[in-house]
């Protein structure tokens, strides 16, 4: 038996693909041969350029996943372009920072709506198309170290990412026997918009770097290989895993 990481002939929907981790995942999958449907709140010109540089087909859907309204359009656009969705990467996410004692209902709801609610209902909508033709597919959720740990000053983010780990396992239990692999990646501390405040705080940045055995913040490109692996046929018997990509953070 041979194992292939080739994604040729497959269509991948990647949310939050306009910047950071989502962009890096979309580019990695494009380089592995997938056609990319990039979903994001802002223009995705740079993501398109990087994906097309490798010869990949590319289509963007500019929407805000803070509500469920765009879900039907995302699925319709993706399926009309290529016939089916083979891979879904739920990467879109936001964060709000405040002490738990001062945290507002709005900051709670805003984060949960994007990070957990929309992720579930987009997965549901895509899974329906995968089940309809009996060909299955791959769903990859982008979790976090906060799926394992508590963190500080990010209560809704921690709750959403802990919930996402549980949701990953539940969907794997329900859909593994139907040909759909549901797994998650838990990034460590990466250079993204979400970590800008931490990186600009010398004390916090020093504390974080001091615990990472690899000795550096993650670069978004460090995540691409894990995403391609979980999307490929090499991962056909992997279900319900939350895979840390963290420079060794959890090992310390």
Query: What are the residue numbers of the active site?
Result: 157
Q: Write the DSSP string, 12-76.
A: EEEETTTSHHHHHHHHHHHHTT-EEEEEESS--HHHHHHHHHTT--EEEEE--TTSSTTHHHHHH
- In degrees and rounded to multiples of 5, residue 73 shows phi and psi of -70, -40
Question: With contact defined as beta carbons under 8 Å apart, do 142 and 185 qualify?
Answer: yes
End-to-end Cα, the chain, rounded Å: 36
Question: With contact defined as beta carbons under 8 Å apart, do 149 and 252 qualify?
Answer: no
Per DSSP, the three-state class of 92 is coil
């Amino acid at each position: 038996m041979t194992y292939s990481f080739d994604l040729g002939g497959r269509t991948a929907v990647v949310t939050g693909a306009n910047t950071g981790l989502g962009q890096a995942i979309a580019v990695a999958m494009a380089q592995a041969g997938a056609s990319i449907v990039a979903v994001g709140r802002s223009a995705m010109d740079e993501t398109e350029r990087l994906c097309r540089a490798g010869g990949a087909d590319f289509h963007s859907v500019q929407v805000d996943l803070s509500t469920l309204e765009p879900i039907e359009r995302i699925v319709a656009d993706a399926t009309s372009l290529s016939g089916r969705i083979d891979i879904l990467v739920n990467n879109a996410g936001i964060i709000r920072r405040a002490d738990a004692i001062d945290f507002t209902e709005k900051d709670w709801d805003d984060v949960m709506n994007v990070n957990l609610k929309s992720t579930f209902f987009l997965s549901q909508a895509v899974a329906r198309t995968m089940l309809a033709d009996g060909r299955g597919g791959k769903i990859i959720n982008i979790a976090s170290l906060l799926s394992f740990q508590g963190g500080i000053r990010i209560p809704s983010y921690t709750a959403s990412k802990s919930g996402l780990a549980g949701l990953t396992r539940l969907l794997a239990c329900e859909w593994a026997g139907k040909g759909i692999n549901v797994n998650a990646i838990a990034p460590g501390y990466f250079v993204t918009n979400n970590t800008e405040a931490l990186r600009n705080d010398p004390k916090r940045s020093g504390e974080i770097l001091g615990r990472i055995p690899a000795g550096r913040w993650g670069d978004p490109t460090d995540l691409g290989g894990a995403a391609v692996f979980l999307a490929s046929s090499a991962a056909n018997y992997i279900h319900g895993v939350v895979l840390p990509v963290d420079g060794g953070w959890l090992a310390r």
